[in-house]
Amino acid sequence: MTQHNDTINEDFTDIQPYDDTQFIDKMATLVREPGFEHAVRYIMPDVDYNAFVQNLLSIKTQNEFQTKVMAPFLEMLVARTTDGLSFSGAENYEAGTCSTFITNHRDIVLDASFLNVCLYRNNLPLTEVAIGNNLLIYDWITDLVKLNRSFIVKRDTGVREALAAARHLSAYIHHAILDKHQSVWIAQREGRAKDSNDRTQESVVKMLSLAGGGDSRDNLMTIRLTPVSISYEYDPNDYLKVREFLLRRRDPDYKKTQRDDLFSMETGLLGHKGRVHFHLGACINPELEKEHTDNRTEIVRHACTTLDRSIHCGYRIFPCNYIAFDLDNGTAEYHHEYTDADVVRFEDYITSQLAKVDVPDITDDERSFMRATMLHMYANPLKNQIASRDCSSAR
What percentage of the chain reaches a pLDDT higher than 90? 72
Question: Does 190 lie in the same domain as 175?
Answer: yes
Alpha carbons 104 and 308: distance in angstroms, whole number: 9
How many other C-beta atoms can be found within 10 angstroms of the C-beta atom of residue 347?
12
- For the segment 128-175, what is each residue's pLDDT rounded down to a tens digit? 999 988 778 888 999 999 999 999 998 877 778 888 899 999 999 999
User: Are 41 and 123 in the same domain?
Assistant: yes
Same domain membership, residue 74 and residue 178: yes
Tell me: do 306 and 326 sit in the same domain.
Answer: no
Residues 70 and 136 in one domain: yes
| CATH for 144 | 3.40.1130
Which of 385, 307, 369, 377 has its CA nearest to residue 349?
377
Q: Which of 257, 290, 316 is the last residue of a domain?
A: 316
CA distance 177 to 116: 17
Residue pair 182/128 in contact (Cβ under 8 Å)? The answer is: yes
For 279, the 3-state DSSP assignment is strand
The reply to whether 265 falls in a domain is: no
- Helix ranges (H only) for the chain are 20-30, 34-43, 49-57, 62-65, 71-81, 110-121, 139-147, 159-178, 202-209, 216-222, 238-250, 258-270, 285-290, 296-313, 319-329, 340-354, 364-394
Per-residue pLDDT at 378 exceeds 70: yes
d(CA 165, CA 171): 10
Predicted confidence at residue 1, as pLDDT, reads: 46
Domain for residue 218, yes or no?
A: yes
List alpha helices for 98-158, DSSP H.
110-121, 139-147
Specify whether 209 is located in the same domain as 339.
Answer: no
Residues 80 and 53 in one domain: yes
pLDDT at 215: 86
Q: Among 286, 316, 346, which residue terminates a domain?
A: 316
**In 3-state terms, what secondary structure has residue 274?**
coil
Q: Which tens digit of pLDDT belongs to each residue from 209-229? A: 998 888 888 999 999 999 999
Q: Answer yes or no: do 298 and 343 share one domain.
A: no
pLDDT bucket at 392, cuts 50 / 70 / 90: low
Q: Is residue 242 part of a domain?
A: no
Which residue range(s) make up the domain with 384?
320-394
Question: Do the domain assignments include residue 134?
Answer: yes
d(CA 65, CA 67) in angstroms, rounded, equals 6
Q: Are strands 276-280 and 184-187 parallel, antiparallel or unpaired?
A: unpaired
CB 250 within 8 A of CB 209: no
Whether 5 maps to a domain, the answer reads no
Residue finishing a domain among 316, 344, 369: 316
| Structure confidence at residue 391 (pLDDT) | 56
Residues 284 and 386 in one domain: no
Q: What is the pTM of this model?
A: 0.91
Based on the structure, what is the number of domains in the chain?
2
Indicate if 117 and 208 belong to the same structural domain. yes
Instruction: Give mean pLDDT, residues 232-242.
Output: 96
Claim to verify: residue 140 and residue 221 sit in the same structural domain: yes
pLDDT tens per residue across span 38-80: 989 988 888 899 999 999 999 999 889 988 989 999 999 999 9
- Give the Cα separation of 341 and 321 in Å (integer): 15
Residue 348 amino acid letter: D
Domain membership of residue 251 (yes or no) is no
Q: Is the pLDDT of residue 3 over 70?
A: no
- pLDDT, one tens digit per residue, over 91-115 is 999 988 999 999 999 888 899 999 9
Is the same domain home to 59 and 198? yes
Residue 394's pLDDT is: 40
Residue 277 lies in a domain: yes
Residue 200 lies in a domain: yes
